[in-house]
Amino acid sequence: MATIVSQRYIAAMKPPDTSIGRATLLIVVSALSFGSISVLTVLITGAGVPLLTAMAWRYVVAAALFLPIIGVRQLGSIPRQRLVQLLLIGGFGQALITYLSLHALEYIPVGPLAFLFYTYPAWVALLAAIRRTERLTSVRAVALTLALVGVAVMVGAPSTDKLNPTGVVLALASALLYSAYLPSLEHLQQGMPALVSAFLLIVGAAITFVIAALFSRQLDLPTGAPVWSNIFLLALVSTVIAFSALIKGLSVLGPVRTAVIATVEPFFTAVLGVAVLGNQLTLTTLVGGILIASAVLLIQWSSTRLEVIA
């Protein structure tokens, strides 16, 4: 009888939005949305818009799109300390990750950078195991290996003797920072509506990039309908949808599973590059994509199995 009561109590306390399948889909949507950043950014900067200007307008437009959705009253109910923390992690965390990645491109090519950055699922899993916040099961370890091998096959494992050490350090630093960013984001947004958390992160990033653009004298008003169309897509798809889906999925899956599933991003970026920029779709890209998809399906299967057993 006590077991039945306990089970009913746990079921009653379980949040309604805890579907593993839905959360997995949200992380995939988030990864695909983030995956369009590089292609849209290439189109915008290719039209003569400086990178800092593009990023500043990206986040400003995204914040403007978000504000009517959540409303000012909802922001007033948030504790000031939590509000400031989310603004800071959105501003300094997101901006620093972006800066390190972009700065690394001055020393190493895009392929090695992608490989080095997408080691972050391993760092997330390692940090979670050290902190004992999430257990690294054998199934998760296999999925993590599949995902990392898939990324390595897709972009080509870097040859360290030919890479500039400064670029390698910057790329790994961005990966390590992101591996700390995900757990921190999961912790800070607990108990808060996902859309409100996403909005605060976006506002924090907007403030940082606007200040950076002002100091570098790059905050201009772009001209031309095609440029503004791409900025709007960057704000809506790669920012509003991407952050909202990430936070909702992260709250259910945790940082380890989220990081593994998010490795679909480079595959989608490669496919989008073929469709929009005319890049060539190689066999290694397809093989890498299959390995990453296998990792996502393995994570989904193991999570659903554990949910049924529980």
Pick from 102, 32, 38, 50: nearest CA to 276: 38
Pick from 118, 177, 113, 112: nearest CA to 145: 118
Amino acid occupying residue 200 = L
Query: What local confidence, expressed as pLDDT, does residue 236 receive?
Result: 94
Alpha-carbon distance values, 78 to 87, 142, 197, 248, 252 (Å): 12, 40, 10, 18, 21
Query: What local confidence, expressed as pLDDT, does residue 191 receive?
Result: 74
pTM given for the model = 0.74
Amino acid occupying residue 54 = A
Contact between residue 58 and residue 234 where contact means Cβ atoms under 8 Å apart: yes
Query: Following CA atoms 19, 21, 22, 28 in sequence, which dihedral angle do they give, to the nearest 10 degrees?
Result: 140
Query: What local confidence, expressed as pLDDT, does residue 231 receive?
Result: 95
Query: What local confidence, expressed as pLDDT, does residue 307 receive?
Result: 46
Amino acid occupying residue 186 = E
Task: Give the up-direction half-sphere exposure of residue 227: CA atoms within 13 A in the CB hemisphere.
Answer: 17
Query: What local confidence, expressed as pLDDT, does residue 164 receive?
Result: 74
Query: What local confidence, expressed as pLDDT, does residue 117 receive?
Result: 77
Q: List the chain pLDDT tens, one digit each, 310 residues.
A: 433 333 333 333 344 445 888 888 898 899 888 878 777 887 888 888 888 899 899 999 999 998 888 776 666 667 777 778 888 888 888 778 877 876 776 777 666 666 677 777 777 777 777 777 777 677 777 877 877 787 777 666 555 456 677 877 888 888 889 888 888 887 777 777 778 888 888 889 899 999 999 998 888 888 889 999 999 999 999 899 998 898 888 888 888 788 878 777 777 767 776 777 666 666 776 777 677 777 766 766 665 554 444 4
Query: What local confidence, expressed as pLDDT, does residue 39 receive?
Result: 78
Token output for 135: 């257990």
Query: What local confidence, expressed as pLDDT, does residue 102 receive?
Result: 67
Task: Report how far residue 183's alpha carbon sits from residue 101's, in angstroms, rounded to the nearest whole number.
Answer: 20
Query: What local confidence, expressed as pLDDT, does residue 284 receive?
Result: 73
Task: Report how far residue 62's alpha carbon sits from residue 199's, in angstroms, rounded to the nearest whole number.
Answer: 8
Task: Report how far residue 205's alpha carbon sits from residue 203's, in angstroms, rounded to the nearest whole number.
Answer: 5
